Chains A and B, each alone.
Chain A
Amino acid sequence: MVLFEQVVKRFGSNIVLDHLDFSVAQGERVTLIGPSGSGKTTILRLLMTLEKVNGGVVYVEGQPLSHMKRGSQLVPANERYLRTVRKKIGMVFQQFNLFPNMKVLDNVTEAPIHVLGLSKEEAVDRAKQLLDLVGLGDRINQHPTSLSGGQQQRVAIARALAMQPDVLLLDEVTSALDPELVADVLNVLRDIAQSTTITMLIVTHEMQFARDVSNRILMFDKGRIVEEGQPDKIFSNPEHERTQTFLRAVLEER
Protein backbone atom coordinates (compact mmCIF):
# COMPACT_ATOMS: atom_id res chain seq x y z
CA MET A 1 0.00 0.00 0.00
CA VAL A 2 2.67 2.44 1.10
CA LEU A 3 6.26 1.95 0.05
CA PHE A 4 9.31 4.07 0.80
CA GLU A 5 12.22 3.23 -1.46
CA GLN A 6 15.61 4.65 -0.58
CA VAL A 7 13.95 7.88 0.49
CA VAL A 8 16.26 10.75 1.36
CA LYS A 9 15.00 13.94 2.97
CA ARG A 10 17.24 16.84 3.90
CA PHE A 11 16.55 20.21 5.44
CA GLY A 12 19.61 22.20 4.45
CA SER A 13 22.55 20.13 5.60
CA ASN A 14 20.42 18.25 8.13
CA ILE A 15 19.81 14.77 6.73
CA VAL A 16 16.51 13.75 8.27
CA LEU A 17 15.79 10.56 6.33
CA ASP A 18 18.77 8.65 5.05
CA HIS A 19 17.90 6.12 2.34
CA LEU A 20 14.84 4.93 4.21
CA ASP A 21 13.11 1.72 3.09
CA PHE A 22 9.87 0.49 4.55
CA SER A 23 6.43 -0.60 3.50
CA VAL A 24 2.97 -0.78 4.97
CA ALA A 25 0.43 -3.31 3.75
CA GLN A 26 -3.19 -2.61 2.86
CA GLY A 27 -5.24 -2.37 6.05
CA GLU A 28 -2.21 -2.49 8.28
CA ARG A 29 -1.84 -0.21 11.33
CA VAL A 30 1.71 0.86 11.83
CA THR A 31 2.91 3.06 14.65
CA LEU A 32 6.11 5.05 14.33
CA ILE A 33 7.89 5.71 17.60
CA GLY A 34 11.21 7.30 18.33
CA PRO A 35 12.84 10.27 19.97
CA SER A 36 12.10 13.86 18.99
CA GLY A 37 13.68 14.79 15.70
CA SER A 38 13.97 11.22 14.47
CA GLY A 39 11.91 12.02 11.38
CA LYS A 40 8.46 10.61 12.20
CA THR A 41 6.52 13.74 11.27
CA THR A 42 8.64 14.15 8.17
CA ILE A 43 7.59 10.70 6.96
CA LEU A 44 3.91 11.53 7.34
CA ARG A 45 4.36 14.92 5.71
CA LEU A 46 6.10 13.32 2.74
CA LEU A 47 3.14 10.98 2.37
CA MET A 48 0.72 13.90 2.57
CA THR A 49 2.83 15.63 -0.12
CA LEU A 50 3.48 18.54 2.23
CA GLU A 51 7.20 17.96 1.73
CA LYS A 52 9.21 16.84 -1.28
CA VAL A 53 11.75 14.02 -1.25
CA ASN A 54 15.38 14.78 -2.04
CA GLY A 55 16.03 11.22 -3.18
CA GLY A 56 14.28 7.90 -3.64
CA VAL A 57 10.60 7.37 -4.39
CA VAL A 58 7.45 7.10 -2.27
CA TYR A 59 4.74 4.79 -3.67
CA VAL A 60 1.09 4.50 -2.71
CA GLU A 61 -0.81 1.53 -4.13
CA GLY A 62 2.06 0.96 -6.52
CA GLN A 63 1.75 4.45 -7.91
CA PRO A 64 4.66 6.80 -7.32
CA LEU A 65 3.55 9.64 -5.08
CA SER A 66 6.60 11.84 -5.12
CA HIS A 67 7.19 11.33 -8.81
CA MET A 68 5.27 10.84 -12.01
CA LYS A 69 6.12 8.83 -15.09
CA ARG A 70 7.20 10.74 -18.12
CA GLY A 71 7.89 8.18 -20.81
CA SER A 72 9.85 5.52 -18.99
CA GLN A 73 11.40 7.96 -16.56
CA LEU A 74 10.28 9.13 -13.15
CA VAL A 75 10.33 12.90 -12.78
CA PRO A 76 9.30 14.95 -9.74
CA ALA A 77 5.52 15.20 -9.55
CA ASN A 78 3.75 18.41 -10.51
CA GLU A 79 0.71 19.81 -8.72
CA ARG A 80 -1.83 18.34 -11.12
CA TYR A 81 -0.38 14.86 -10.72
CA LEU A 82 -0.16 15.27 -6.97
CA ARG A 83 -3.88 15.93 -6.82
CA THR A 84 -4.60 12.55 -8.40
CA VAL A 85 -2.52 10.64 -5.86
CA ARG A 86 -3.19 12.81 -2.82
CA LYS A 87 -6.85 11.76 -2.77
CA LYS A 88 -5.81 8.38 -1.38
CA ILE A 89 -4.36 9.97 1.74
CA GLY A 90 -5.86 11.78 4.69
CA MET A 91 -4.13 13.38 7.61
CA VAL A 92 -4.98 14.50 11.13
CA PHE A 93 -2.63 17.08 12.56
CA GLN A 94 -1.31 17.66 16.04
CA GLN A 95 -2.87 21.14 16.09
CA PHE A 96 -6.14 20.03 14.39
CA ASN A 97 -5.90 22.68 11.62
CA LEU A 98 -9.66 23.10 11.49
CA PHE A 99 -10.89 26.00 9.39
CA PRO A 100 -12.14 28.74 11.74
CA ASN A 101 -14.15 30.38 8.95
CA MET A 102 -16.45 27.36 8.75
CA LYS A 103 -18.86 25.83 11.20
CA VAL A 104 -18.19 22.28 12.34
CA LEU A 105 -20.46 20.78 9.70
CA ASP A 106 -18.92 22.84 6.89
CA ASN A 107 -15.45 21.78 7.94
CA VAL A 108 -16.55 18.25 7.16
CA THR A 109 -18.65 18.91 4.04
CA GLU A 110 -16.76 21.56 2.06
CA ALA A 111 -14.01 19.35 0.69
CA PRO A 112 -16.33 16.45 -0.19
CA ILE A 113 -18.58 18.89 -2.05
CA HIS A 114 -15.89 20.83 -3.88
CA VAL A 115 -13.17 18.24 -4.24
CA LEU A 116 -15.09 14.98 -4.56
CA GLY A 117 -18.07 16.59 -6.24
CA LEU A 118 -20.65 15.19 -3.83
CA SER A 119 -24.07 16.78 -3.74
CA LYS A 120 -24.78 18.93 -0.72
CA GLU A 121 -27.30 16.44 0.72
CA GLU A 122 -24.94 13.54 0.28
CA ALA A 123 -22.06 15.40 1.88
CA VAL A 124 -24.20 16.54 4.79
CA ASP A 125 -25.53 13.01 5.34
CA ARG A 126 -22.08 11.58 5.38
CA ALA A 127 -20.73 14.36 7.59
CA LYS A 128 -23.51 13.87 10.11
CA GLN A 129 -22.81 10.17 10.29
CA LEU A 130 -19.13 10.82 10.85
CA LEU A 131 -19.77 13.50 13.43
CA ASP A 132 -22.08 11.08 15.25
CA LEU A 133 -19.34 8.52 15.10
CA VAL A 134 -16.90 10.89 16.82
CA GLY A 135 -19.56 11.89 19.34
CA LEU A 136 -20.23 15.40 18.08
CA GLY A 137 -23.51 15.00 16.25
CA ASP A 138 -24.99 17.73 18.43
CA ARG A 139 -22.30 20.30 17.63
CA ILE A 140 -22.64 20.61 13.90
CA ASN A 141 -23.65 24.27 13.92
CA GLN A 142 -20.99 25.50 16.30
CA HIS A 143 -17.79 27.29 15.46
CA PRO A 144 -14.69 25.16 15.91
CA THR A 145 -13.27 27.78 18.28
CA SER A 146 -16.11 27.17 20.71
CA LEU A 147 -15.13 23.51 21.10
CA SER A 148 -12.58 21.98 23.44
CA GLY A 149 -9.32 20.74 21.95
CA GLY A 150 -10.47 17.17 22.17
CA GLN A 151 -13.69 17.98 20.36
CA GLN A 152 -11.83 19.93 17.70
CA GLN A 153 -9.55 17.01 17.13
CA ARG A 154 -12.51 14.68 16.74
CA VAL A 155 -13.98 17.03 14.14
CA ALA A 156 -10.63 16.92 12.38
CA ILE A 157 -10.79 13.12 12.35
CA ALA A 158 -14.30 13.25 10.86
CA ARG A 159 -13.11 15.78 8.31
CA ALA A 160 -10.26 13.54 7.19
CA LEU A 161 -12.50 10.47 6.99
CA ALA A 162 -15.12 12.33 4.96
CA MET A 163 -12.67 12.28 2.05
CA GLN A 164 -12.65 8.47 2.21
CA PRO A 165 -8.91 8.08 2.09
CA ASP A 166 -7.25 4.68 1.81
CA VAL A 167 -4.49 5.72 4.18
CA LEU A 168 -4.99 7.78 7.33
CA LEU A 169 -2.02 9.60 8.81
CA LEU A 170 -2.19 10.53 12.50
CA ASP A 171 0.60 12.76 13.77
CA GLU A 172 0.58 12.99 17.57
CA VAL A 173 -3.10 13.78 17.46
CA THR A 174 -3.41 13.90 21.25
CA SER A 175 -0.20 15.75 22.09
CA ALA A 176 -1.80 19.17 22.13
CA LEU A 177 -4.67 18.08 24.38
CA ASP A 178 -5.22 18.38 28.09
CA PRO A 179 -4.78 14.95 29.69
CA GLU A 180 -8.44 14.49 30.49
CA LEU A 181 -9.42 14.95 26.83
CA VAL A 182 -7.01 12.40 25.42
CA ALA A 183 -9.10 9.32 26.15
CA ASP A 184 -12.11 10.45 24.09
CA VAL A 185 -9.99 11.00 21.02
CA LEU A 186 -8.16 7.72 21.39
CA ASN A 187 -11.44 5.86 21.86
CA VAL A 188 -12.75 7.32 18.63
CA LEU A 189 -9.62 6.15 16.87
CA ARG A 190 -9.92 2.69 18.43
CA ASP A 191 -13.48 2.53 17.08
CA ILE A 192 -12.34 3.51 13.62
CA ALA A 193 -9.52 1.01 13.71
CA GLN A 194 -11.97 -1.71 14.66
CA SER A 195 -14.84 -0.84 12.34
CA THR A 196 -12.91 -0.06 9.15
CA THR A 197 -10.08 -1.51 7.12
CA ILE A 198 -8.38 1.80 6.53
CA THR A 199 -4.60 1.70 6.51
CA MET A 200 -3.13 3.76 9.35
CA LEU A 201 0.24 5.32 9.97
CA ILE A 202 0.33 6.56 13.52
CA VAL A 203 2.83 8.70 15.35
CA THR A 204 2.08 8.76 19.06
CA HIS A 205 3.56 8.72 22.51
CA GLU A 206 0.50 6.92 23.86
CA MET A 207 2.08 3.52 24.14
CA GLN A 208 -0.99 1.68 25.39
CA PHE A 209 -2.97 2.98 22.43
CA ALA A 210 -0.18 1.99 20.06
CA ARG A 211 -0.20 -1.45 21.56
CA ASP A 212 -3.97 -1.78 21.19
CA VAL A 213 -4.37 -0.70 17.59
CA SER A 214 -1.08 -1.45 15.84
CA ASN A 215 -0.08 -4.51 13.90
CA ARG A 216 3.50 -3.37 13.84
CA ILE A 217 5.75 -0.83 15.54
CA LEU A 218 8.63 0.91 13.82
CA MET A 219 11.25 2.38 16.10
CA PHE A 220 13.07 5.28 14.51
CA ASP A 221 16.25 6.99 15.42
CA LYS A 222 17.99 9.63 13.34
CA GLY A 223 15.91 8.89 10.27
CA ARG A 224 16.53 5.14 10.30
CA ILE A 225 14.50 2.21 11.55
CA VAL A 226 16.46 0.69 14.39
CA GLU A 227 13.93 -1.96 15.30
CA GLU A 228 10.54 -3.17 14.17
CA GLY A 229 8.11 -5.84 15.18
CA GLN A 230 4.77 -6.65 16.71
CA PRO A 231 3.70 -4.42 19.58
CA ASP A 232 4.01 -7.13 22.20
CA LYS A 233 7.54 -7.84 21.26
CA ILE A 234 8.66 -4.23 20.97
CA PHE A 235 7.05 -3.12 24.20
CA SER A 236 7.72 -6.18 26.35
CA ASN A 237 10.95 -7.36 24.96
CA PRO A 238 12.78 -4.72 22.93
CA GLU A 239 16.05 -5.97 21.53
CA HIS A 240 17.79 -2.81 20.57
CA GLU A 241 19.36 -0.73 23.28
CA ARG A 242 18.09 2.48 21.70
CA THR A 243 14.51 1.16 21.88
CA GLN A 244 14.93 0.19 25.51
CA THR A 245 16.17 3.60 26.60
CA PHE A 246 13.51 5.35 24.55
CA LEU A 247 10.66 3.31 26.01
CA ARG A 248 12.01 3.74 29.50
CA ALA A 249 12.12 7.50 28.99
CA VAL A 250 8.56 7.60 27.64
CA LEU A 251 7.20 5.49 30.48
CA GLU A 252 8.92 7.65 33.08
CA GLU A 253 7.25 10.74 31.63
CA ARG A 254 3.82 9.46 32.58
Chain B
Amino acid sequence: MGTFLTQLGDSAGNIGAAILVTVEATVLGAILALVLAFILGLLARSRFLVVRGIARTIIEFFRGTSLYVQLFWLYFALPVLGFQISSALLCAVIAFGLNFGAYGAEVVRGAINAVPKAQWEGAVALNMTGFQRMRLVILPQAWIGMIPPFNNLLIQLLKSTPLLSLITVADLTFEGQQLRAATGQTALSYLFLLVVYFILAYIFTLLMNALESVAKARLGRGGGLRGLFRLREADPTGRSAGAGAGGGA
Protein backbone atom coordinates (compact mmCIF):
# COMPACT_ATOMS: atom_id res chain seq x y z
CA MET B 1 0.00 0.00 0.00
CA GLY B 2 2.76 2.40 0.95
CA THR B 3 4.77 1.68 -2.18
CA PHE B 4 1.57 1.98 -4.22
CA LEU B 5 0.85 5.45 -2.86
CA THR B 6 4.47 6.51 -3.35
CA GLN B 7 4.39 5.29 -6.93
CA LEU B 8 1.03 6.98 -7.46
CA GLY B 9 2.55 10.23 -6.23
CA ASP B 10 5.61 9.82 -8.42
CA SER B 11 3.56 9.22 -11.55
CA ALA B 12 0.98 11.90 -10.78
CA GLY B 13 2.20 13.93 -13.74
CA ASN B 14 1.83 11.02 -16.15
CA ILE B 15 -1.54 10.12 -14.75
CA GLY B 16 -2.77 13.68 -15.05
CA ALA B 17 -1.66 13.75 -18.66
CA ALA B 18 -3.32 10.37 -19.23
CA ILE B 19 -6.62 11.63 -17.80
CA LEU B 20 -6.38 14.57 -20.18
CA VAL B 21 -5.84 12.18 -23.10
CA THR B 22 -8.87 10.14 -22.07
CA VAL B 23 -11.03 13.24 -21.68
CA GLU B 24 -9.73 14.64 -24.96
CA ALA B 25 -10.56 11.46 -26.84
CA THR B 26 -13.99 11.37 -25.22
CA VAL B 27 -14.84 15.00 -25.92
CA LEU B 28 -13.48 15.07 -29.47
CA GLY B 29 -15.11 11.74 -30.26
CA ALA B 30 -18.37 13.01 -28.82
CA ILE B 31 -18.23 16.21 -30.87
CA LEU B 32 -17.65 14.28 -34.09
CA ALA B 33 -20.37 11.82 -33.07
CA LEU B 34 -22.77 14.68 -32.38
CA VAL B 35 -22.18 16.24 -35.79
CA LEU B 36 -22.56 12.89 -37.56
CA ALA B 37 -25.62 12.05 -35.46
CA PHE B 38 -27.41 15.18 -36.67
CA ILE B 39 -26.33 14.75 -40.28
CA LEU B 40 -27.24 11.05 -40.43
CA GLY B 41 -30.37 11.46 -38.30
CA LEU B 42 -31.72 14.23 -40.51
CA LEU B 43 -30.78 12.47 -43.74
CA ALA B 44 -32.51 9.33 -42.47
CA ARG B 45 -35.75 11.35 -42.52
CA SER B 46 -35.23 12.68 -46.03
CA ARG B 47 -38.08 12.77 -48.54
CA PHE B 48 -35.83 11.03 -51.04
CA LEU B 49 -35.59 7.28 -50.84
CA VAL B 50 -32.00 7.20 -52.08
CA VAL B 51 -30.81 9.65 -49.42
CA ARG B 52 -32.69 7.77 -46.73
CA GLY B 53 -31.24 4.51 -47.98
CA ILE B 54 -27.66 5.76 -47.88
CA ALA B 55 -28.08 7.22 -44.39
CA ARG B 56 -29.66 4.03 -43.09
CA THR B 57 -26.90 1.90 -44.58
CA ILE B 58 -24.22 3.98 -42.91
CA ILE B 59 -26.08 3.93 -39.59
CA GLU B 60 -26.67 0.18 -39.68
CA PHE B 61 -23.10 -0.52 -40.76
CA PHE B 62 -21.46 1.39 -37.93
CA ARG B 63 -23.94 0.16 -35.36
CA GLY B 64 -23.70 -3.38 -36.58
CA THR B 65 -19.94 -3.75 -36.50
CA SER B 66 -17.75 -3.73 -33.43
CA LEU B 67 -16.06 -0.53 -32.33
CA TYR B 68 -12.99 -2.59 -31.55
CA VAL B 69 -12.77 -3.86 -35.12
CA GLN B 70 -13.52 -0.42 -36.57
CA LEU B 71 -10.68 1.06 -34.57
CA PHE B 72 -8.25 -1.66 -35.60
CA TRP B 73 -9.31 -1.17 -39.18
CA LEU B 74 -8.45 2.50 -39.06
CA TYR B 75 -5.21 1.95 -37.18
CA PHE B 76 -3.81 -1.29 -38.57
CA ALA B 77 -5.60 -2.08 -41.84
CA LEU B 78 -5.79 1.32 -43.55
CA PRO B 79 -1.99 1.83 -43.54
CA VAL B 80 -1.61 -1.56 -45.23
CA LEU B 81 -3.85 -0.23 -47.98
CA GLY B 82 -1.55 2.78 -48.23
CA PHE B 83 -3.57 5.28 -46.26
CA GLN B 84 -2.16 6.38 -42.95
CA ILE B 85 -4.05 8.50 -40.45
CA SER B 86 -1.55 10.81 -38.84
CA SER B 87 -2.03 9.89 -35.19
CA ALA B 88 -3.41 7.05 -33.13
CA LEU B 89 -5.56 9.49 -31.17
CA LEU B 90 -7.09 10.79 -34.38
CA CYS B 91 -7.86 7.21 -35.43
CA ALA B 92 -9.69 6.71 -32.17
CA VAL B 93 -11.61 9.97 -32.45
CA ILE B 94 -12.77 9.01 -35.94
CA ALA B 95 -13.76 5.51 -34.84
CA PHE B 96 -15.64 6.84 -31.81
CA GLY B 97 -17.29 9.51 -33.94
CA LEU B 98 -18.50 7.06 -36.57
CA ASN B 99 -19.65 4.40 -34.13
CA PHE B 100 -21.38 6.65 -31.63
CA GLY B 101 -22.58 8.97 -34.38
CA ALA B 102 -24.52 6.03 -35.80
CA TYR B 103 -26.18 5.40 -32.45
CA GLY B 104 -26.73 9.12 -31.99
CA ALA B 105 -28.45 9.34 -35.37
CA GLU B 106 -31.17 7.10 -34.01
CA VAL B 107 -31.49 9.37 -30.99
CA VAL B 108 -31.87 12.42 -33.24
CA ARG B 109 -34.40 10.69 -35.45
CA GLY B 110 -36.42 9.40 -32.50
CA ALA B 111 -36.50 12.78 -30.77
CA ILE B 112 -37.58 14.58 -33.95
CA ASN B 113 -40.34 12.04 -34.51
CA ALA B 114 -41.51 12.59 -30.94
CA VAL B 115 -42.35 16.26 -31.58
CA PRO B 116 -46.13 16.39 -32.04
CA LYS B 117 -47.48 16.63 -35.58
CA ALA B 118 -49.39 19.75 -34.53
CA GLN B 119 -46.08 21.62 -34.26
CA TRP B 120 -45.22 20.79 -37.87
CA GLU B 121 -48.64 21.88 -38.97
CA GLY B 122 -48.38 25.13 -37.03
CA ALA B 123 -45.13 25.84 -38.86
CA VAL B 124 -46.61 24.96 -42.25
CA ALA B 125 -49.55 27.27 -41.58
CA LEU B 126 -47.02 30.08 -41.13
CA ASN B 127 -45.55 29.14 -44.50
CA MET B 128 -42.11 28.24 -43.18
CA THR B 129 -39.76 26.33 -45.47
CA GLY B 130 -38.85 22.79 -44.54
CA PHE B 131 -35.53 24.06 -43.24
CA GLN B 132 -37.14 26.81 -41.17
CA ARG B 133 -39.63 24.36 -39.67
CA MET B 134 -36.76 22.19 -38.55
CA ARG B 135 -34.51 24.98 -37.31
CA LEU B 136 -37.03 27.30 -35.66
CA VAL B 137 -39.67 24.92 -34.37
CA ILE B 138 -38.81 21.24 -34.36
CA LEU B 139 -35.16 20.98 -33.32
CA PRO B 140 -35.45 23.48 -30.44
CA GLN B 141 -38.11 21.19 -29.00
CA ALA B 142 -36.54 17.90 -29.99
CA TRP B 143 -33.06 18.39 -28.59
CA ILE B 144 -34.21 18.30 -24.98
CA GLY B 145 -35.38 14.77 -25.56
CA MET B 146 -31.98 13.92 -26.98
CA ILE B 147 -29.99 14.93 -23.91
CA PRO B 148 -30.65 11.88 -21.65
CA PRO B 149 -29.91 9.32 -24.38
CA PHE B 150 -26.93 11.38 -25.52
CA ASN B 151 -25.69 11.31 -21.94
CA ASN B 152 -25.90 7.51 -21.97
CA LEU B 153 -23.91 7.43 -25.18
CA LEU B 154 -21.34 9.84 -23.79
CA ILE B 155 -20.75 7.60 -20.79
CA GLN B 156 -20.53 4.58 -23.10
CA LEU B 157 -17.99 6.46 -25.16
CA LEU B 158 -15.93 7.29 -22.12
CA LYS B 159 -16.00 3.65 -21.13
CA SER B 160 -14.82 2.66 -24.59
CA THR B 161 -11.70 4.81 -24.39
CA PRO B 162 -9.52 2.07 -22.83
CA LEU B 163 -9.34 0.79 -26.40
CA LEU B 164 -6.86 3.64 -26.85
CA SER B 165 -4.28 1.71 -24.84
CA LEU B 166 -4.46 -1.05 -27.48
CA ILE B 167 -3.29 1.32 -30.19
CA THR B 168 -0.33 2.71 -28.22
CA VAL B 169 -2.00 5.81 -26.81
CA ALA B 170 -0.99 6.57 -23.21
CA ASP B 171 -4.52 6.97 -21.86
CA LEU B 172 -5.78 6.45 -18.35
CA THR B 173 -5.97 2.67 -18.68
CA PHE B 174 -2.45 2.55 -20.07
CA GLU B 175 -1.15 4.48 -17.06
CA GLY B 176 -3.11 2.21 -14.72
CA GLN B 177 -1.32 -0.74 -16.22
CA GLN B 178 2.01 1.02 -15.85
CA LEU B 179 1.14 1.55 -12.20
CA ARG B 180 0.38 -2.11 -11.79
CA ALA B 181 3.59 -3.14 -13.48
CA ALA B 182 5.61 -0.82 -11.27
CA THR B 183 4.00 -1.83 -7.96
CA GLY B 184 2.67 -5.34 -8.53
CA GLN B 185 -0.56 -4.16 -6.89
CA THR B 186 -3.15 -5.49 -9.36
CA ALA B 187 -6.24 -4.95 -7.21
CA LEU B 188 -5.29 -1.45 -6.12
CA SER B 189 -4.28 -0.36 -9.61
CA TYR B 190 -7.53 -1.45 -11.14
CA LEU B 191 -9.50 -0.07 -8.21
CA PHE B 192 -7.81 3.24 -8.87
CA LEU B 193 -8.92 3.06 -12.51
CA LEU B 194 -12.49 2.25 -11.53
CA VAL B 195 -12.65 5.25 -9.24
CA VAL B 196 -11.19 7.71 -11.75
CA TYR B 197 -13.47 6.51 -14.58
CA PHE B 198 -16.44 6.75 -12.25
CA ILE B 199 -15.57 10.30 -11.26
CA LEU B 200 -15.15 11.30 -14.90
CA ALA B 201 -18.49 9.72 -15.81
CA TYR B 202 -20.15 11.51 -12.93
CA ILE B 203 -18.77 14.86 -14.02
CA PHE B 204 -20.05 14.31 -17.56
CA THR B 205 -23.46 13.35 -16.18
CA LEU B 206 -23.64 16.47 -14.03
CA LEU B 207 -22.82 18.62 -17.03
CA MET B 208 -25.47 16.93 -19.15
CA ASN B 209 -28.06 17.24 -16.38
CA ALA B 210 -27.30 20.94 -16.12
CA LEU B 211 -27.74 21.27 -19.87
CA GLU B 212 -31.06 19.48 -19.69
CA SER B 213 -32.31 21.71 -16.89
CA VAL B 214 -31.38 24.83 -18.80
CA ALA B 215 -33.04 23.49 -21.93
CA LYS B 216 -36.22 22.65 -20.04
CA ALA B 217 -36.36 26.04 -18.39
CA ARG B 218 -36.19 27.61 -21.84
CA LEU B 219 -39.28 25.66 -22.83
CA GLY B 220 -41.01 26.98 -19.74
CA ARG B 221 -41.10 23.67 -17.94
CA GLY B 222 -39.03 21.85 -15.36
CA GLY B 223 -37.54 23.29 -12.22
CA GLY B 224 -34.31 24.91 -13.28
CA LEU B 225 -31.24 23.35 -11.78
CA ARG B 226 -33.12 21.19 -9.32
CA GLY B 227 -32.37 17.48 -9.48
CA LEU B 228 -28.97 18.16 -10.87
CA PHE B 229 -27.15 15.73 -8.62
CA ARG B 230 -29.11 12.66 -9.42
CA LEU B 231 -27.31 9.90 -11.29
CA ARG B 232 -28.94 8.67 -14.45
CA GLU B 233 -30.28 5.17 -14.16
CA ALA B 234 -28.17 2.70 -16.05
CA ASP B 235 -29.38 1.79 -19.49
CA PRO B 236 -30.26 -1.89 -19.01
CA THR B 237 -30.03 -2.73 -22.71
CA GLY B 238 -26.54 -1.35 -23.05
CA ARG B 239 -26.23 0.86 -26.08
CA SER B 240 -29.85 0.92 -27.17
CA ALA B 241 -30.25 4.52 -26.13
CA GLY B 242 -31.54 5.54 -29.53
CA ALA B 243 -34.63 3.38 -29.78
CA GLY B 244 -37.73 5.39 -29.11
CA ALA B 245 -35.70 8.00 -27.34
CA GLY B 246 -36.91 11.44 -26.50
CA GLY B 247 -40.39 10.44 -25.50
CA GLY B 248 -40.95 13.50 -23.41
CA ALA B 249 -39.92 16.02 -26.03
Contact = CB atoms under 8 A, between A and B. Distances in A.
Interface of A: 48-50, 79, 83, 86-87, 89-91, 93, 95, 97-102, 110-111, 114-115, 143-146, 159-160, 163
A193 to B, nearest CB: 20
Contact of B137 (A49, A50, A101): A101
Contacts of B127: 83, 86-87, 111, 115, 163
Contacts of B123: 99
Chain B interface extent, by class? 20 to 34
Contacts of A145: 219-221
Given A83-B129, A110-B136, A97 B119 contact: yes
Contacts of B232: none
Which of B124, B125, B130, B137 has the most C-beta atoms of chain A within 10 angstroms of its own C-beta? B125
Given A143-B220, A146-B220, A97 B121 contact: yes
Nearest to A80: B129
A101 B140 contact: yes
Interface string B217-228: 011110000000
B141 interface: yes
B211 to A, nearest CB: 15
Contacts, number: 69
Main secondary structure of the interface of B (DSSP, over half): helix
Contacts of A143: 219-220
B125 A91 contact: yes
Contacts of B137: 99, 101
A105 to B, nearest CB: 14
Given A90-B126, A99-B137, A99-B141, 17 more contacts: A48-B121, A49-B124, A50-B124, A79-B130, A86-B124, A86-B127, A90-B125, A93-B118, A97-B118, A99-B123, A99-B136, A101-B141, A110-B136, A114-B136, A115-B126, A143-B220, A160-B125
A79 B132 CA distance: 14
Nearest to B125: A91
Which of A79, A99, A144 has the most C-beta atoms of chain B within 10 angstroms of its own C-beta? A99
A102 B219 CA distance: 7
Contacts of B132: 114-115
A89 B125 CA distance: 8
Nearest to A48: B125
Q: Rank and list the top 3 A-B pairs by shortest CB-CB distance, nearest first.
A: A143-B220, A97-B122, A111-B126
A159 B121 CA distance: 14
Interface in B89-143: 118-119, 121-130, 132, 136-137, 140-141
A151 to B, nearest CB: 14
A101 B126 CA distance: 16
Interface string B55-92: 00000000000000000000000000000000000000
Nearest to A87: B127
